[in-house]
Amino acid sequence: MKHLITTKDFDKNEIEALFEDAREFLDEKPRTLLEGKSVTTIFFENSTRTLSSFESAARRLGARVLRLDVSRSSSSKGETLYDTAANLDAMGPHAIIVRHHHSGVPYLLAKHLHCPVLNAGDGKHAHPSQALLDLFTIKEHFKNEIEGRKILIVGDVKNSRVAASNIELLGRFGLDITLVAPPHFMPKTSLKSSFELSERLVEGADIIMSLRTQTERHQKAIYASLKDYANDFCLHANLLTKNPKLIILHPGPVHRNIDISDEVMASSQSLVLKQVKNGVAIRMAILKKLILEK
Ligand code: NCD
DSSP labels, 33-72: TTTT-EEEEEESS--SHHHHHHHHHHHHTT-EEEEE-GGG
**162 close to ligand 1 (CB < 6 Angstrom):** yes
Interval 267-277 mean pLDDT: 97
The answer to the question of whether 64 is labelled as a binding residue is no
The answer to the question of whether 60 is labelled as a binding residue is no
- In this prediction, residue 220 carries a pLDDT of 67
**251 close to ligand 1 (CB < 6 Angstrom):** yes
Interval 83-96 mean pLDDT: 88
**Higher-scoring residue by pLDDT: 83, 277:** 277
Closest approach atom of ligand 1 to CA 214: 12
Task: In whole angstroms, give the CA distance from residue 196 to residue 226.
Answer: 16
- Cα dist. 47→36, 105, 121, 152, 211 in Å? 27, 17, 10, 25, 16
**212 close to ligand 1 (CB < 6 Angstrom):** yes
Interval 255-264 mean pLDDT: 96
- In this prediction, residue 77 carries a pLDDT of 66
Residue 119 Cα to ligand 1 midpoint, Å, equals 13
Residues 26-55: pLDDT tens digits? 999 999 999 999 999 999 998 889 999 999
Is the per-residue pLDDT at 256 higher than 90? yes
Provide φ and ψ at 220, rounded to 5°: -140, 155
> 40-49, 75-84, 262-271 — which is least confidently predicted?
75-84
Interacting residues of 51 by C-beta distance below 8 A, sequence separation 6+: 41, 43, 67, 99, 120
- In this prediction, residue 223 carries a pLDDT of 64
The answer to the question of whether 252 is labelled as a binding residue is yes
| Residue from 46, 122, 162 whose mutation best tests the ligand 1 pocket (most atoms within 8 A of CB) | 162
Interval 88-97 mean pLDDT: 93
Interacting residues of 282 by C-beta distance below 8 A, sequence separation 6+: 18, 19, 22, 129, 132, 133, 136
Is the per-residue pLDDT at 224 higher than 70? no
